Structure formats: structure tokens, C-alpha cells
A and B are shown apart, each in its own frame.
Chain A
Amino acid sequence: MNQESLNRKARGLFVLFAAGLFAFGLGGALLLSPSAQALGGGDGGEGDYGKTLKEVTDKGYVQCGVSQGLPGFSNPDDAGNWSGIDVELCRAVATAIFNDPDKVQYSPLSAKVRFESLRSGEIDLLVRNTTWTFDRDVALGLEFVGVNYYDGQGFMVRKNLGVNSSQELNNVSVCTNTGTTTELNAADFFRANKLKYKIVAFEKSDEVVAAYDAGRCDVYTTDRSGLAAQRTKLSNPREHKVLPEIISKEPLGPVVRQGDEQWADLVRWVLNATIIAEELGLTSANIASHKNSDNPKIRRFVGSEGEFATALGLEDNAWAYNIIAKVGNYGEIYDRTVGPKTPLGLSRGDNALWTDGGILYAPPLR
């Protein structure tokens, strides 16, 4: 009897020991994996140069990470196709490589997993309304290759509040999302301008809009593109207006993995090509008639002169021509996704060409 209970005790201890060993091993594997990932993906080395383009060409499509539904940037339309200004950039990259804007597969990503998806090689390109910041660019092993939309935090108010500038917002309650930089930016702004305010914060955007619409606060603050999109969800959009001031810089742009400069260059110049085409006055409608132009800038653009495609690792020297013919220039893309004639109705503002008073500027193609 005594012997038996001793045996049982020993066995129990043994089980405990084995369990501990197993848990230790599992924990070790979990701990080691991030470093394994950093070695495998992130930093890369010379071995990664040209890898992404080769993989994309082999599988026959671009795997593009987009948002899970942000009005005007990427959302499925009634027919089940993705549309939006971010989606158009994915389509432009696919056109440069395959001369077919539909050779894209979309990964709708949450904000939490977007960088992990890119680093693990799950996606080739991330165009998900991602703000270019020092930390993300330098510390996360990512490469921002440009800006496809200059956003910034703004304010929306009821027209009958009689406010024309954000400097006049005194003694107001402000609706916003909890725990975001939006909330902090707003607090900074009001404190710096010595204005009295009260924050009314909610977890989800739908709740913020509903609260603002119900009159629980005077001001709604988020990125201006977001304000425009949420405005369509108010019961009477015409009673509200967006104030002209911008209180933060939110340059949104496409992101690629660090280490493959060829792919970064390709995406950067696809974006630049759409901007240059607008500067040159080339649109999807008229570019065919410019195919035999005498203008050297246009000749370089449509691929009649120079060897830009081979430098990018592409085969078709008319890559930029194809982008404009099949997707359109930056202005066309903007107008069809977020521009004044869309439900968002965003004027070009900062996103106009530098020649039109905006800050959109692409280096010369030569």
C-alpha cells in the first residue's frame, strides 16, 4: 500500500517533469522564432535582390495587401471587384509587369498584421493607407517607396455651429477614436492653441460617427479622407463641413520589404510614372495618339527611346505606356476613386501636381 502510493507520487512527479520539459521546449521554440524570422525575411542581403520580381513573374500575379474596407482606398464594389486609390496602384504595378491590370490577388489585411504579412513574404506589396513614419521605415525592416496620398488630420463640424477655422473651436466636445494618434494629435492641437475642449472617445469608427450624428459632440476629428468618407454616412451630409486646417502629416504610401532594391525601384517608378504622365498631359484616352510623339520626354515615357524597362528588370519597354493606357494617370485614378465627383468628394488639395499648387512631384524619367 505504502509502496503503491510512493509509486504514484513518483509517477506524478515524473509527469510534472515531462510536462515542464515540453512546455519549456514549446516556449523556447516560440521565443526563437522571431529571431529566425529576422534572419530569414526582414533584413535580407544581397541574395534578395531581384527575388520578388522573379517570384511574381513565376506565379503570374502580384499579391497585394490592401485594407479590409476603407472607403475610396480599397473596398469591394457591388460586382465584387476591389476598387480604390490603393487598389489602383496594385493594378498599375501588375500592368507594368504583365501588361494586365487584373493580374493581382488581394489580401485584405487588418492593421495588426499588415507588416508581418509583408515581412513573411505573404504579400509582395503593401498598399494599405499606411502612414510613412521614421519608425516604420527604419526600424521595422520595411521600405516606403513613395506617397500615393497626402492625408492629414482635420475637423468636421455642423455648418450651424458658425465656425470657419479650427482656431475658433473653443469650449467644444470632440468625438474621436480611443487610443489612436488621432486623439493625441487633437489634444496637442487644443492645448497648443489654448482652447478649451472635451474628448468624447469611442472604440469603433461606426460608433464615433453615430455619436457625432446624434449631436453628442460638436466636432468630429480623424484623417481628412476618413472625414469625407464618414460624412456620407451622416443623416444629412450637407449640414456638415470640413474645416480647412490640417493638424498632422499623414503621408500614405506603398511599402515593400527591405533588401530587394529592384522591386522597391519598380514600385517607386510605377507610382512616379502615373504622376509624370499627368505632368505631361498623357491620359488613358490620349496616350495612343502620343505613341509617335516628337517630344523627347514623351518618347522616353512611352518607351520609344531609352532602355528603362531593362534597368527595372522588366521586358516590355512600353511599361509606362501600358500603365497609362490600362489604368490611367494619377489625376484619373484620383478622380475615379476619391475625387470631387465620387461620394467622397475630396478636392485635390495637397495631392495636386506641384505645378497646380499641390506637393505632388516626381523626379524626371531619364
Chain B
Amino acid sequence: MVGLGQVFLLWLRENLFFSWRNGVLSVVVGGFLLWIIFLLGDWFFLSATWSGGIEDCRMRQDGACWPFVRVRFSQFVYGFYPSVERWRVNVVMFVFFTGIALLVWERTPWRGKIVLFMLCVFPLASWFLMRGGFFGLADVSTGRWGGFMLTLVLASVGIVTSLPFGILLALGRRAESLPFVKAFCVVFIEFWRGVPVITVLFATAFMLPLFMPASVNFDQLLRAMVGFILFSSAYMAEVVRGGLEGLQRGQYEASDALGMTYWQSRIRVILPQALKIMIPGILLTFIGLFKDTTLVLIIGLLDFLGMIQAGISDPRWGAPNVPFTGYAFAAVVYFCFCYSMSLYARHIEKKFSAGRDRRH
């Protein structure tokens, strides 16, 4: 029997030290990594202030100031949502994360029904629950929404609506027999992809009301959502088009030959296969969208990052380590969410590519 230590040594020699150049490189890079880890660990944990207030943070300026995050945590999550009404947000978040967990776990029964619930019932129900104004629920205007809940609302609305719109736009772009539809789709996609996201948000925030009758009071948050839906569906359309074009021509011809109508062929043959190819691309678009939500700061909505920045500006929390702590906290949270999405994307990709390999 070879001991575990010997296996480790063997692994070291084969992977890190198989030539002298390789060995030097391993030592340099490894040392650099350890140094970074040590610096970060020291700043995040060892030298950090864990309890107390601003005076304690001023005393220990070489580390993070966690009391700032602890005191402001509920603000970072709920924004200016009134504290007695926050249970409503909690209910929505609980259902949201439970739903996602159930869908990610592949052996959940009734997944189809859960998908339908999460896509159709849940968004409307949670909007009305958080907005309130009926059945004795206090009215909480969207101006008071903020922090992480706003980030989630914007990202999930953009993500959920962009997929159907994106599919329609992509199909429209490939509809050779309908020139007007095709023209509309081409211009729509290229226009929204061709302008910066900030411009889109700015335009929907300040120009959308001009096209509406004066009596329609259009919520600032709704306008931001419209902006997000417009550009995210344009981006999604291009991902979907990539999937559609990745399919072999035979699939289209075979479904036509079977006498299927256009929609029958798309829904039963083309899209299920194309969507499988697209899943990694779709999830990557979602990750981008999730991060793009921070841009709503420009039009006066304080999302997660916006609330942190506003918190940093409080003169009562004036210390050199407070801004770094705020941004570090934001970075960790964004990283956790984006990395888990990208892990899931990789998992799905592996699953489907395994499926493809078997078929060949």
C-alpha cells in the first residue's frame, strides 16, 4: 500500500515540480497566492473590528469594520422599506429562494408546476404583497424599496421576462417570409444592443412618461424595469439566435416534412434542442444582467450597492476602513450570487454535453 503522503508527494512532483522551470514558477505563484490570502485573511478577519462602534473601528484601521455592516445590514437588504412591514419582503424572499432550490434539485416532484408557479403566479403575487395598499396591508410605495430586495426584483424581472421576449425576437429575426416582422426584430435587437445600458435606463426613466397620457402615473421602478426588459430581451434574442443557428438544418426540414405547422415545429422540435445548447449562454446573460442592476443608481434608485454607498457617506461612520468594508461586503455578496449561477451553468452544460456524447 502506498501511503497518502507518498501519493501527495508524487502528485506534487508530477504537477508542480516536473522540471526546474516549472518548480520555480510553482514556488513564485504559490508564494504570491499565499501572500494574497494572508493579506486578505488578515484584513477580513484577524485585524478586523467585530464589535463596538465607530471608535473601535478608528482604533483598528488596518482591518475591516464589521460593526458598520452589522448596524446597517437591514438597510442594505430592505432599503427604506418600513421595518414593521418587512415580513412581507421576508415571505417573498423565502418563497423565491425555496422555489429556486426546489428547481435546482433535479428530483423534486412536480417541477413543471413549480416552474409555472414561479413564472406566472409568484411575480404578480409578490409585487402586490410588497406594494400593499389593500386588505389592510399598508401601502409601501416603490420609492421606499431599496437595497438587496430591489436588486433581486430588478434582476429577476429582467431575467424572467427577457427569455420569452428574446425567443420571440430571435424567431422573428429568422422569419424570412415576414419582412416587416423581421425588420422590426432586426432594428429592435440592433438598436438596444447598440446603445449603452445607462442610456436605455435614462431614456426609459425620463422619456417614457412623455409618450404616456398625463394621467398615467408611471412608477420610477416600473420604468427602470421596462428599460431592463428592453435591453435584456435584445441580448437574449442574440443568444437564442445562436442556439437556433447551431441546430442542424435537417431538424427544420424533418419537422417540416412531418407536416408540422410553424409553431408545432418550433415548440416540439426546434426550441427544446436549441434551448439545451443555449443554457450556458442564457445563464451568462443572467449573470451580466444581475450585475447591471447596479446602474439604476443613475436614475435615483438605491439598489444594494447604492445603499452601501449611501451608508458610507454618513459622517457618523467616518473612518478610513469604512468605505473599504462596505465595498468588500458588496463584492463578497455579488461574488457569491454570480459564482453560484456560473457553477450551476457549468453543471447544466456538463449534464447536457454528457447526454450528447452518449447519443453519438
Quick check: B206 and A78 within 8 Å, CB to CB? no
Please tell me the size bucket of the interface on A.
35 or more
Chain A 221-239 interface residues, beta-carbon cutoff 8 Å to B: 229, 231-235, 237
Asked if A232 meets B319 with Cβ closer than 8 Å, knowing A33-B210, A37-B210, A71-B313, the reply is yes
Closest to B81 in A: A80
Asked if A213 meets B320 with Cβ closer than 8 Å, knowing A19-B187, A22-B183, A109-B300, the reply is yes
Report the separation of the CA atoms of residues A77 and B71 in the bound assembly, to the nearest whole angstrom.
10
Chain A 1-22 interface residues, beta-carbon cutoff 8 Å to B: 11, 14-16, 18-19, 22
Of the listed stretches B123-131, B252-260, B304-312, chain A binds B304-312
Quick check: A68 and B306 within 8 Å, CB to CB? yes
Closest to B309 in A: A69
Is A173 part of the contact surface with B, judged by Cβ < 8 Å? no
Shortest CB-to-CB span from A61 to chain B, Å, is: 9
What sequence of 0s and 1s flags, for each residue 186-199 of chain B, a beta carbon within 8 Å of any chain A beta carbon? 11000100000000
| Residues from chain A with Cβ under 8 Å of B183 in the complex | 15-16, 18-19, 22
Is A262 part of the contact surface with B, judged by Cβ < 8 Å? no
Report the separation of the CA atoms of residues A288 and B101 in the bound assembly, to the nearest whole angstrom.
60
Report the separation of the CA atoms of residues A331 and B45 in the bound assembly, to the nearest whole angstrom.
43
Quick check: B318 and A80 within 8 Å, CB to CB? no
Report the separation of the CA atoms of residues A68 and B184 in the bound assembly, to the nearest whole angstrom.
39
Is A122 part of the contact surface with B, judged by Cβ < 8 Å? yes
Closest to A229 in B: B315
| Residues from chain B with Cβ under 8 Å of A229 in the complex | 313, 315, 318
Is A108 part of the contact surface with B, judged by Cβ < 8 Å? yes
Partner of B75, one of A80, A107, A108, A231: A80
Quick check: A233 and B297 within 8 Å, CB to CB? no
Quick check: A344 and B179 within 8 Å, CB to CB? no
Is B200 part of the contact surface with A, judged by Cβ < 8 Å? no
Report the separation of the CA atoms of residues A11 and B183 in the bound assembly, to the nearest whole angstrom.
11
Quick check: B210 and A36 within 8 Å, CB to CB? yes
Is A342 part of the contact surface with B, judged by Cβ < 8 Å? yes
Chain B 312-329 interface residues, beta-carbon cutoff 8 Å to A: 312-316, 318-320, 322-323
| Residues from chain A with Cβ under 8 Å of B203 in the complex | 30
Asked if A206 meets B323 with Cβ closer than 8 Å, knowing A18-B179, A76-B80, the reply is yes
User: Which of B71, B141, B297, B311 has the most A CB atoms < 10 Å from its CB?
Assistant: B311
| Residues from chain A with Cβ under 8 Å of B299 in the complex | 110, 113
Partner of B318, one of A11, A70, A71, A78: A71
| Residues from chain A with Cβ under 8 Å of B180 in the complex | 18
Shortest CB-to-CB span from B108 to chain A, Å, is: 37
Closest to B209 in A: A120
Is B161 part of the contact surface with A, judged by Cβ < 8 Å? no
Chain A 144-199 interface residues, beta-carbon cutoff 8 Å to B: none
Asked if A113 meets B202 with Cβ closer than 8 Å, knowing A11-B179, A19-B183, A108-B302, the reply is yes
Quick check: B141 and A105 within 8 Å, CB to CB? yes
Partner of B316, one of A16, A78, A235, A237: A78
Asked if A71 meets B314 with Cβ closer than 8 Å, knowing A80-B75, A110-B298, A112-B298, the reply is yes
Report the separation of the CA atoms of residues A11 and B323 in the bound assembly, to the nearest whole angstrom.
58
Report the separation of the CA atoms of residues A68 and B80 in the bound assembly, to the nearest whole angstrom.
13
Is A40 part of the contact surface with B, judged by Cβ < 8 Å? yes
What sequence of 0s and 1s flags, for each residue 49-75 of chain A, a beta carbon within 8 Å of any chain B beta carbon? 000000000000000010011111001
Quick check: A26 and B191 within 8 Å, CB to CB? yes
Shortest CB-to-CB span from A101 to chain B, Å, is: 16
| Residues from chain A with Cβ under 8 Å of B265 in the complex | none
Is B266 part of the contact surface with A, judged by Cβ < 8 Å? no
Is B174 part of the contact surface with A, judged by Cβ < 8 Å? no
| Residues from chain A with Cβ under 8 Å of B211 in the complex | 29, 33
Is A356 part of the contact surface with B, judged by Cβ < 8 Å? no
Is B27 part of the contact surface with A, judged by Cβ < 8 Å? no
Is B111 part of the contact surface with A, judged by Cβ < 8 Å? no
Shortest CB-to-CB span from A46 to chain B, Å, is: 18
Closest to A112 in B: B298
Partner of A76, one of B182, B184, B297, B311: B311
Is B119 part of the contact surface with A, judged by Cβ < 8 Å? no
Shortest CB-to-CB span from B177 to chain A, Å, is: 9
Closest to A123 in B: B300
Partner of B186, one of A15, A37, A109, A210: A15
What sequence of 0s and 1s flags, for each residue 110-128 of chain B, a beta carbon within 8 Å of any chain A beta carbon? 0000000000000000000
Asked if A15 meets B313 with Cβ closer than 8 Å, knowing A33-B207, A108-B300, A233-B322, the reply is no
Quick check: B210 and A23 within 8 Å, CB to CB? no
Closest to B311 in A: A76
Closest to A32 in B: B210
Is B205 part of the contact surface with A, judged by Cβ < 8 Å? yes
Quick check: A110 and B316 within 8 Å, CB to CB? no
| Residues from chain A with Cβ under 8 Å of B207 in the complex | 30, 33
Shortest CB-to-CB span from B155 to chain A, Å, is: 20
| Residues from chain A with Cβ under 8 Å of B83 in the complex | 80
Shortest CB-to-CB span from A225 to chain B, Å, is: 10
Is A343 part of the contact surface with B, judged by Cβ < 8 Å? yes
Is B72 part of the contact surface with A, judged by Cβ < 8 Å? yes
Chain B 162-193 interface residues, beta-carbon cutoff 8 Å to A: 176, 179-180, 182-184, 186-187, 191
| Residues from chain B with Cβ under 8 Å of A284 in the complex | none
| Residues from chain B with Cβ under 8 Å of A22 in the complex | 183-184, 187
Quick check: A117 and B318 within 8 Å, CB to CB? no
Quick check: B320 and A234 within 8 Å, CB to CB? yes
| Residues from chain B with Cβ under 8 Å of A68 in the complex | 297, 300, 302, 306, 309-310, 313
Quick check: B206 and A120 within 8 Å, CB to CB? yes
Closest to B62 in A: A235
Asked if A107 meets B300 with Cβ closer than 8 Å, knowing A113-B206, A234-B320, the reply is yes
Shortest CB-to-CB span from A100 to chain B, Å, is: 16
Is A116 part of the contact surface with B, judged by Cβ < 8 Å? yes
Report the separation of the CA atoms of residues A363 and B186 in the bound assembly, to the nearest whole angstrom.
62
Closest to A76 in B: B310
Quick check: A69 and B312 within 8 Å, CB to CB? yes
Chain B 139-161 interface residues, beta-carbon cutoff 8 Å to A: 141, 143-144
| Residues from chain B with Cβ under 8 Å of A65 in the complex | 300
Is B220 part of the contact surface with A, judged by Cβ < 8 Å? yes
Partner of A75, one of B205, B300, B313, B320: B313
16 contacts between A and B (CB under 8 A): A16-B183, A22-B183, A68-B302, A69-B312, A78-B71, A78-B316, A80-B75, A80-B83, A108-B300, A108-B302, A232-B315, A232-B319, A233-B319, A234-B320, A237-B318, A343-B318
Give the 9 A-B CB pairs with smallest separation, nearest first: A232-B318, A69-B313, A69-B310, A18-B183, A71-B315, A343-B315, A19-B183, A75-B313, A109-B300
